[in-house]
Chain A
Amino acid sequence: MSKVPSALNLGIRRGGLEIRQFARQRESVVFTLLFPVILLVIFGSVFKDTIAPGVTFSQYFVAGMIASGLVNTGFQSLAITIPMERDVGGLKRLRGTPMPASSYFIGKAILISVSMVLQIILLFGFGLIFFGVQMPTDPAKWFTFVWLVLLGSTSSTALGIAFSIVPKSGRGASAVVSPIVIVLQFFSGVFFIFTQLPTWMQQFAAIFPLKWLTQGMRSVFLPDSFATQEVAKSWENGRTFLILIIWLAVGIFFSVRKFKWDRD
């Protein structure tokens, strides 16, 4: 008997298809890729202060924008678009084929990674040229950056797929998902300096990955002297790693167990 193609192979094919579909939706391409840049332009132009010796607000903000880009691009976009795909019957059709769920998930992860890389390039470009954002020179910092992006984008993808079971319909999905993301952004120190937030906000944010991603990104883009100004007086990258791994596991568990292919 002939064998069905491997799940990984189909996942890569799905990734290609997802990218092609995404690239043809011009409005969402522009919005997804340029939104963080637009925010950087606004915040970078309004807050020109230095928040610590050698640390501009733009520098602080780029760290937050990359972290929150991971959440927007993965969690938010998937938790909104998957219910829409479900509404129009696309997921049910896929389920009727020999393509396994894991290939569908891999396809989404590829799409999110590619779009994240483009976002980061744009953000770096604008940050460097217009706001004097400084890139780290220490290879160890780049290593941290790479694992943060990888772990951030996979856990954000997994959580977005998992959360796609919550909205009842594609039309209502944005109303359910967007407020969660916006609140988390405010609470996690993306738009404001984290240590200046009320303690209860800081503690609430510490349950979720965005706070840790943002803090991790600060460890990459801010001088090490700034670590003493963090809540724990250090970057806590080990703890960040652990918390992201836990959230990744939670996301994968619910995605695999509870994914909904059909409306009912």
Chain B
Amino acid sequence: MNVIEVKGLKKSYDQVHAVRGVDLSILQGEIFALLGPNGAGKTTTVEILEGFRSRDAGEVSVLGFDPQIKGHAAREWRNRIGIVLQSAADAGDLTVLETIDHFSGYYSKPRNVSEVLNAVGLEEKSGALIRNLSGGQRRRLDVALGIIGSPELLFLDEPTTGFDPEARRSFWALIENLRGTGTTILLTTHYLDEAEALADRVAVINNGQIIEVSTPAELGGRATSKATVSWRDGEVLKSESTDNPTSIVTKLSAHFGGEIPELTITRPSLEDIYLTMIGGTHE
């Protein structure tokens, strides 16, 4: 059974159709990225799956339950889920350790607190008050609180916003480790490189509908799209769009007698493909 199964999901606010018929299937153990511009229906969709919002129409199953579940069954359901929200700035007067330890008490089979501290790289900050943490450290704490209950399914909403490049890399390594434990992860992000680095599959959502679901490498026909070969011929920069870059390179190599000046072969980046799909342009 799929971890998340969504059919015909719809949600409107007043006159605005935020989500207009979304279908999704997320498999056990995969990292699934939901991409889309602001206002595309990304947050609404995820918040419905998290049980934070009601829906107008459609079927939703998360770990086999409707997220609108109530009462004690809802507690058992939440016991199996971890949620890392976009921003939380609460509990500034507690230490990192106190907070993680407290949250661990909410779950029936929590992870070991010091293991989680290590996993998110906060072991040296365990005694620090939360209000004294940097933005990146706070985000790591958010993740720690999301995974302390050893969830089967983890929601990660824009996890690396505001990170410097190094912090993002080490955060990605953390997520890779979680993949190793079999946790299913639903990631929403605006960073295309993040989706490419982490996700097994990506879905692009725009205007409240899913445009495509694919692997990052194949999205929008990316794997079969033409490559661009560029090189310098004397004073002139030349480039050619082709399905057969290797044969062009072979010919050029023969022409130049070995090295080809300033040779590059590029395929459209995930960002290029994505921007084409949502009808945007490079800034």
- Chain A residues in the interface with B (C-beta under 8 A): 1-5, 10, 13, 17, 20-21, 24-25, 85, 88-93, 95-100, 262
B88 adjacent to A5 (CB under 8 Å): no
A20 adjacent to B94 (CB under 8 Å): yes
> Can you identify 17 A-B contacts, CB atoms within 8 angstroms?
A13-B102, A13-B105, A17-B94, A20-B98, A21-B94, A24-B94, A88-B88, A88-B89, A91-B90, A92-B52, A93-B90, A93-B145, A96-B50, A96-B52, A96-B78, A98-B106, A98-B108
A98 to B106, CA, bound (A): 6
Contact residue among B81, B83, B89, B108 (Cβ-Cβ distance under 8 Å from A4): B108
Chain B residues closer than 8 Å to A24, beta-carbon distance: 93-94
How many Å from the CB of B203 to the closest CB on chain A? 22
| Any A CB within 8 A of the CB of B254 | no
B90 adjacent to A98 (CB under 8 Å): no
Contact residue among A85, A91, A99 (Cβ-Cβ distance under 8 Å from B106): A99
Chain A residues closer than 8 Å to B79, beta-carbon distance: 4, 98
How many Å from the CB of B19 to the closest CB on chain A? 15
B149 adjacent to A97 (CB under 8 Å): yes
Q: How many A-B residue pairs have CB under 8 A?
A: 76
**CB-nearest residue of chain B relative to A1?**
B76
A100 to B102, CA, bound (A): 14
**CB-nearest residue of chain A relative to B77?**
A98
A24 to B98, CA, bound (A): 13
| Any A CB within 8 A of the CB of B197 | no
Chain A residues closer than 8 Å to B87, beta-carbon distance: 89
How many Å from the CB of B186 to the closest CB on chain A? 13
Chain A residues closer than 8 Å to B76, beta-carbon distance: 1, 4, 98
Chain A residues closer than 8 Å to B52, beta-carbon distance: 92, 95-96, 262
Contact residue among A4, A21, A93 (Cβ-Cβ distance under 8 Å from B107): A4
Contact residue among A1, A10, A90, A262 (Cβ-Cβ distance under 8 Å from B91): A90
A89 adjacent to B103 (CB under 8 Å): no
- Chain B residues in the interface with A (C-beta under 8 A): 50, 52, 75-76, 78-79, 81, 83, 85-91, 93-94, 98, 102-103, 105-109, 145, 149
A21 to B91, CA, bound (A): 7
Chain A residues closer than 8 Å to B102, beta-carbon distance: 13, 17
How many Å from the CB of A86 to the closest CB on chain B? 9
B88 adjacent to A92 (CB under 8 Å): yes
A25 adjacent to B93 (CB under 8 Å): yes
A5 to B107, CA, bound (A): 7
How many Å from the CB of B68 to the closest CB on chain A? 14
A96 adjacent to B83 (CB under 8 Å): yes
Give 10 A-B pairs besides A90-B88, A96-B50, A96-B52 with Cβ atoms closer than 8 angstroms: A2-B108, A4-B108, A5-B106, A21-B93, A25-B93, A92-B88, A93-B85, A93-B90, A95-B52, A96-B78
A24 to B50, CA, bound (A): 33
A93 to B146, CA, bound (A): 9
Contact residue among A10, A93, A100 (Cβ-Cβ distance under 8 Å from B88): A93
A98 adjacent to B93 (CB under 8 Å): no
B93 adjacent to A92 (CB under 8 Å): no
Chain B residues closer than 8 Å to A85, beta-carbon distance: 90
A88 adjacent to B90 (CB under 8 Å): yes
Contact residue among A3, A92, A93, A99 (Cβ-Cβ distance under 8 Å from B108): A3
A97 adjacent to B103 (CB under 8 Å): yes
A2 to B80, CA, bound (A): 11
How many Å from the CB of A105 to the closest CB on chain B? 15
A85 to B91, CA, bound (A): 9
Closest 4 CB pairs of A and B: A90-B90, A89-B88, A96-B83, A2-B108
**CB-nearest residue of chain B relative to A5?**
B105
**CB-nearest residue of chain A relative to B88?**
A89
Query: In this complex, which of B75, B79, B85, B91 has the most chain A Cβ atoms within 10 angstroms of its Cβ?
Result: B75
Chain A residues closer than 8 Å to B89, beta-carbon distance: 88-90
A98 adjacent to B149 (CB under 8 Å): yes
A90 to B93, CA, bound (A): 13
Chain A residues closer than 8 Å to B107, beta-carbon distance: 4, 97-98
Chain A residues closer than 8 Å to B94, beta-carbon distance: 17, 20-21, 24
Knowing A93-B85, A97-B149 touch, does A10 contact B105 (C-beta < 8 A)? yes
**CB-nearest residue of chain A relative to B13?**
A264
Chain B residues closer than 8 Å to A1, beta-carbon distance: 76
A21 to B106, CA, bound (A): 18
A17 to B100, CA, bound (A): 12
A61 to B83, CA, bound (A): 50
B98 adjacent to A5 (CB under 8 Å): no
A130 to B264, CA, bound (A): 88
A5 to B106, CA, bound (A): 7
How many Å from the CB of A77 to the closest CB on chain B? 15
Query: In this complex, which of A25, A85, A92, A100 has the most chain B Cβ atoms within 10 angstroms of its Cβ?
Result: A92
Chain B residues closer than 8 Å to A25, beta-carbon distance: 93
B85 adjacent to A89 (CB under 8 Å): yes
Knowing A90-B91, A96-B85 touch, does A10 contact B78 (C-beta < 8 A)? no
A10 to B103, CA, bound (A): 10
**CB-nearest residue of chain B relative to A2?**
B108
